[in-house]
Amino acid sequence: IKKKHPNVSRADLWALAACIAVEQMGGPKIPFRSGRVDATSGAQCGPDGRLPDAAQTQNHIRDVFVKRMGFTEAETVALIGAHTVGECHKDRSGYVGPWTHDKLGFDNSFYSHLLDEEWLVDTRYPQLQFTDRATKKLMMLPGDMAFILDPAFKKHVQRFAASDTSFHVEFAKAFQKLVEL
């Protein structure tokens, strides 16, 4: 695509691909606007640790999303809902496993699992992570657990667990804001 359309930035292509992927997995349609400029070196890509450290607590999450990036607490909780897809890989993050049983479907099951499952420390791995008591197939990161330990975050987790539509609407707005930062 880049060869055929050299004036389109790679950054726009990646952002558009992300928006389309969310929709194709059953998530919301995310409005897309072009205009990103490609960095010419790694030094232009910002500081290390742009995203929260998964081993940290709600204070760190707020420092990154609310204070540094300008998201509300509701937007922060909506964005973490992206953990409904995919899984962690030991060779990339040190963590292992999926958050949900359908790692290719975009729905509110991350929130339902977070609230409804009993989470145990998973002693199979050296880094602190949690596994569900029922199947021992799901995982949660320490940073994920912070969303139910903090009352201000938890009320949004509960709201999104109760309504897939509410999650989709708010995720679309928050994700658009994220890719336009």
pLDDT in tens, 14-64: 999 999 999 999 999 999 999 999 988 877 776 665 678 999 999 999 999
Of 95, 65, 101, the closest CA to residue 80 belongs to: 65
User: How many Cβ atoms from other residues are within 10 Å of residue 154's Cβ?
Assistant: 17
d(CA 181, CA 178): 5
Alpha-carbon distance of 87 to 161, in angstroms, equals: 20
The structure's pTM equals 0.92
User: How far apart are alpha carbons 163 and 149 in whole angstroms?
Assistant: 20
The answer to whether 130 and 98 have CB atoms below 8 angstroms apart is: no
Per-residue pLDDT tens digits for 83-122: 999 999 999 999 999 999 999 999 999 999 999 999 999 9
